[in-house]
Structure 1
Amino acid sequence: MALSQLMEQQKSYYLTGATRGLDFRLAQLKKLKQAIVERESDIIQALRTDLNKGEKEAYAFEISIVYQEIAHVIKHLKRWMKPKKVKTPMTHSGSRSYIIPEPLGAALIIAPWNYPFMLAIDPLVGAIAAGNTAVLKPSELAPAVSAVMASILRAAFEPHYIAVVEGGVEESHALLEQPFDKIFFTGSVAVGKIVMEAAAKHLSRVTLELGGKSPCIVHDDAHLKLAAQRIAFGKFSNAGQTCVAPDYLFVHRSVKSKLLAYLQEAIVSFYGSKPLQSPDYGKIISRRHYERLRHFLNEGKVAIGGLANDLSLQIEPTVLEDITWEMPVMQEEIFGPILPVLTYDSLEEVIGRIQARPKPLALYVFSEDKKVQDTLLERLSFGGGCVNDTLMHFGSTHLPVGGVGESGMGSYHGEMSFHIFSHMKSILKQTTKFDIPFRYPSSKIGLKIIRRLTKP
């Protein structure tokens, strides 16, 4: 089917009003969940094929998050859909004001390869909850997951409601030429700019989930052993291919040696003394990305790890020291299991360095001092993050996830996913029992009354 024909079918089906009712939306969300439950083992196997994710990581990072999202949306959707009554000013006496959520129409979701199932289905849940039709474009770099998702969604839904378009860059460009009412994109900054440019031609609403170099700050009073475990978890899960992973470590000079020793312990605890032989340690998604990461291993000095396997496309959890801000490893998002370490002596140095760079998607602070925590959280701009942990904010249905500046625009998860796929329509219902004559041009005292009612 031609994409223009698919677009016409989805728009026509949306205009029937079939997707708008609460019962319909809830039924589709339950159908989606059941379809995933029935194919859970196939999804886990596909994640193993594309990224060598073990069963625990695949379930915890990809499938369980989707289950939680669906359950949360089903529980709260009735309340979210209700018209919300808001206050009315004195100048509007006799009227009532409401905000009514309505679907945007046809949505396009372009998913990435690093969490190819969760980052495709999670926004789809929001699109369904808000009453839209949707076209899902999975990443061609994760072909096994793409095929399973396509099979699941095509079996569960008719294409005029939920469709899947597989393929590569050519298919993505062709989709972006269609007049979608909403585009949700997760991926790189460079491609995000292309998506936004294409959306501008149709004035389509856009949510961009991008990335950037997310700092992890470890102050001199941090609980170092626990910090090391949580940093290793956040950085080396999925072989570092996580948009909110700590991109670099900014550690107080006085505790650097201790922290690196604990990091070494944590890596061995997680993956053994030879991580490349661990059956559940992830691989790099493609040869091109692997070769890009290999070049970083030549920068600074390897403090931990450093080995790579050209056949399996794997790189050990690696920590680099003697790093400078000018090195290539500090100029682009790493998106792999390589962690550069820089040191600082004062918080002002930390703040200055981070403020001089594009705003990151995430930021992590390890400190026991509330004043240190509050200073960094207040003065640094970033999408979201954690104090004394990494990644975990992403898994909460109560916390919106999204970037700022080059790390993206718009947030989703939970209620925010419902909002980004909805238009909040403002309605004022006016009484006919009486009129307000002072607003009309013929009123002699109208200006006097308006001034009195709106006096600053």
Structure 2
Amino acid sequence: MNTWHNLLDELNHTYHTGLTRPVSWRKQQLQQLRQFLVEQEAPLLEALRTDLGKHPSEARLTELQFLLTDIKHTLKHINRWAKPRKVGTPMLAWPAKSELVPEPLGTVLILGAWNYPVQLLLAPLIAAIAAGNCAIIKPSEHASEVATVIARHLPDYLDSAAFKIVTGDVQVSAELTQLPFDHIFYTGGENAARSILAAAAPNLTPVTLELGGKSPAVVMADCDLAVTARRIVWGKFLNAGQTCIAPDYLLVESSVQDQLINALKRAITEFYGDEPQHSDDYGRIIHSQHHQRLVGLLEGQTIAFGGDSSGKDNYLAPTLVTNVAADHPLMTDEIFGPILPIVPIDSANQAIEIINAKPKPLALYAFSKNQRTLSQFTRHIAAGNVCYNDTLMFMLNDEMPFGGVGRSGMGRYHGKFGFDTFSHLKPVMTRRFILDVALRYPPYSKLKDKLLSWFS
């Protein structure tokens, strides 16, 4: 523990020297991070292939290119984000100027996740750098090859006085979260999130939690079934289903359930062939423990498609399941794998009732050509993020925040929203010495009360 205390003290000292304050320094660090992603692309792609079986094209799209776009967007807008933001001033305080001054939080801790081990570690770091913070970042130990590449090469690019990479198991994470950081940013599961909140509580350390949950996809009969099926299959089975915003279960109007299942089968075969285990485009489950859990969920279930598995390489086929009991773990717990339960519904209202009976999801998907139906979902379902007639694609929009609500997470980031998460927007009012109106000073009177209520 003393080692981590010393590391935090070192970074706090760096922060108080003012090194991270100039926007020019922040830009230079972001450019260095971009250089790391470009120059170390090959070892990163190889590590992602080893850890998760990710095809290089998928890894580029969802990990490296995502980050490069985020850096480009941040570099373009950081000057404006870092400027004081003028706000109005009430008449009673005239003459005065009021503004919100973005101020770095200090030294922050970023705990990455294993399912997108590059993106989910470095995207929060982009925001932390842009806001002017020092940081300790810890890659997930489960994506060990990626953690090795990052720990070996990233220090060659970033300022070592301001940024430290720590590797290790869950015990290391537990020790780090007990330290008095100025902010902790965690991406991962609900159980670990509870431990992190408990560890942060004695220091009153603010925490951002990017979690998950059961994200539903509702398919109405009036949608384009072929397009819908392709988009669901892509969003669900990308990274072998190990995506926090992947559709976790389908609610399908019963009149088109059979048609949709057939369209889903065709899309799976189109994407991954007749034998997905031999497809270079299909990933693997992160480790044997998670693989065994997923295979166990299929015991006794009605498998409409897939279900094949192999413990040798942690393979589980894209799998469609029907006739799932409402109280089965497939319908109560986050699956986080390539298993898609399909549940028939009679109406949009029934879908809303089913979704609202569960904790608020991280993402909501619905497919329909009827704007009234989609608006009904927007009005009546609370979700961290919503995407209609597609899956996952909202993540590409740098102008929109990403984050959960309720048990799917707290706090948000991406673009300006990430900058603000790692900033304190310090309110500053500057008054002038002229017009020192005495109405607010004692002795008070009914006339002063009347005048003050008029000016307020």
Range into which the TM-score falls when normalised by the shorter chain: over 0.9
Amino acid at match of 1:328: P
Question: What's 1:56 paired with?
Answer: 57
Query: 1:154 Cα deviation (Å)?
Result: 1.4
Superposed CA offset, 1:395-428 (max 9, x none): 2211111000000001110000000000000011
Structure 1 unaligned regions, length at least 5: none
Question: What's 2:66 paired with?
Answer: 65
SS at match of 2:102: strand
SS at match of 2:296: helix
Query: 1:361 Cα deviation (Å)?
Result: 0.3
Structural mapping, 1:51-200, within 5 Å: 51-200=52-201
Query: 1:156 Cα deviation (Å)?
Result: 1.5
Query: 1:98 Cα deviation (Å)?
Result: 0.6
Contact 2:87/2:98, CA 8 A, preserved across alignment = yes
Question: What's 1:259 paired with?
Answer: 260
Greater mean deviation of Cα atoms: 21-30 or 299-308? 299-308
> How far apart, in 1, do the equivalents of 2:263 and 2:12 lie?
56
> How far apart, in 2, do the equivalents of 1:158 and 1:416 lie?
24
Query: 1:246 Cα deviation (Å)?
Result: 0.2
Structure 2 unaligned regions, length at least 5: none
Question: What's 2:433 paired with?
Answer: 432
SS at match of 1:382: coil
> How far apart, in 2, do the equivalents of 1:260 and 1:65 lie?
31
> How far apart, in 2, do the equivalents of 1:384 and 1:453 lie?
41
> How far apart, in 2, do the equivalents of 1:214 and 1:364 lie?
8
Query: 1:160 Cα deviation (Å)?
Result: 3.0
Query: 1:281 Cα deviation (Å)?
Result: 1.2
Contact 2:11/2:134, CA 8 A, preserved across alignment = yes
Amino acid at match of 2:130: A
Contact 2:143/2:286, CA 8 A, preserved across alignment = yes
Contact 1:324/1:342, CA 8 A, preserved across alignment = no
SS at match of 1:423: strand
> How far apart, in 1, do the equivalents of 2:19 and 2:159 lie?
13
Contact 2:233/2:264, CA 8 A, preserved across alignment = yes
Count of residues paired in the alignment: 454
Greater mean deviation of Cα atoms: 442-451 or 37-46? 442-451
> How far apart, in 2, do the equivalents of 1:385 and 1:370 lie?
14
SS at match of 1:139: coil
Contact 1:220/1:255, CA 8 A, preserved across alignment = yes
Superposed CA offset, 1:261-290 (max 9, x none): 010110011000100111231000011000
1:214 aligns with 2:225: no
Amino acid at match of 2:320: V
Query: 1:453 Cα deviation (Å)?
Result: 2.1
Classify 1:453/1:433 alpha carbon distance in 2 versus 1 (closer, same or farther; 3 Å). Answer: closer
> How far apart, in 2, do the equivalents of 1:235 and 1:293 lie?
15
TM-score normalized by the length of structure 1: 0.98
1:446 aligns with 2:448: yes
Superposed CA offset, 1:186-227 (max 9, x none): 000111111111111111111100000000000111110000
Amino acid at match of 2:84: P
Contact 1:358/1:406, CA 8 A, preserved across alignment = yes
Superposed CA offset, 1:17-50 (max 9, x none): 1101111111110011012111011110000010
Contact 2:85/2:100, CA 8 A, preserved across alignment = yes
SS at match of 1:2: helix
Question: What's 1:303 paired with?
Answer: 304
Superposed CA offset, 1:367-393 (max 9, x none): 000000000111000000210000111
1:417 aligns with 2:409: no
Amino acid at match of 1:95: A
Superposed CA offset, 1:170-194 (max 9, x none): 1001101111001000000111111
Greater mean deviation of Cα atoms: 395-404 or 98-107? 395-404
Query: 1:151 Cα deviation (Å)?
Result: 1.9
Contact 2:111/2:186, CA 8 A, preserved across alignment = yes
SS at match of 2:203: coil
1:40 aligns with 2:50: no
> How far apart, in 2, do the equivalents of 1:86 and 1:320 lie?
54
Query: 1:157 Cα deviation (Å)?
Result: 2.5
Query: 1:144 Cα deviation (Å)?
Result: 0.4
Amino acid at match of 1:75: K
Question: What's 1:400 paired with?
Answer: 401
Greater mean deviation of Cα atoms: 290-299 or 37-46? 290-299
Structural mapping, 1:7-46, within 5 Å: 7-46=8-47
Query: 1:443 Cα deviation (Å)?
Result: 5.1
Superposed CA offset, 1:95-141 (max 9, x none): 11111000000010001100000000000000000000000011000
Question: What's 1:238 paired with?
Answer: 239
Contact 2:110/2:136, CA 8 A, preserved across alignment = yes
SS at match of 1:170: helix
> How far apart, in 2, do the equivalents of 1:105 and 1:451 lie?
41
> How far apart, in 2, do the equivalents of 1:315 and 1:217 lie?
24
Structural mapping, 1:325-364, within 5 Å: 325-364=326-365
* Percent identity between the two aligned chains: 43
Instruction: Please give the root-mean-square deviation of Cα atoms over the aligned residues, in Å.
Output: 1.0
Query: 1:91 Cα deviation (Å)?
Result: 1.2
> How far apart, in 2, do the equivalents of 1:224 and 1:357 lie?
26
Contact 2:52/2:239, CA 8 A, preserved across alignment = yes
Amino acid at match of 1:453: F
Question: What's 2:7 paired with?
Answer: 6
Amino acid at match of 1:17: G
Superposed CA offset, 1:344-380 (max 9, x none): 0022211111111100000100000000000011100
Contact 1:35/1:156, CA 8 A, preserved across alignment = yes
Query: 1:324 Cα deviation (Å)?
Result: 1.8
Query: 1:434 Cα deviation (Å)?
Result: 2.7
Amino acid at match of 2:452: I
> How far apart, in 1, do the equivalents of 2:242 and 2:114 lie?
9
> How far apart, in 1, do the equivalents of 2:158 and 2:414 lie?
23
Contact 1:403/1:410, CA 8 A, preserved across alignment = yes
Contact 2:29/2:159, CA 8 A, preserved across alignment = no
> How far apart, in 2, do the equivalents of 1:403 and 1:57 lie?
24
> How far apart, in 1, do the equivalents of 2:103 and 2:198 lie?
26
TM-score normalized by the length of structure 2: 0.98
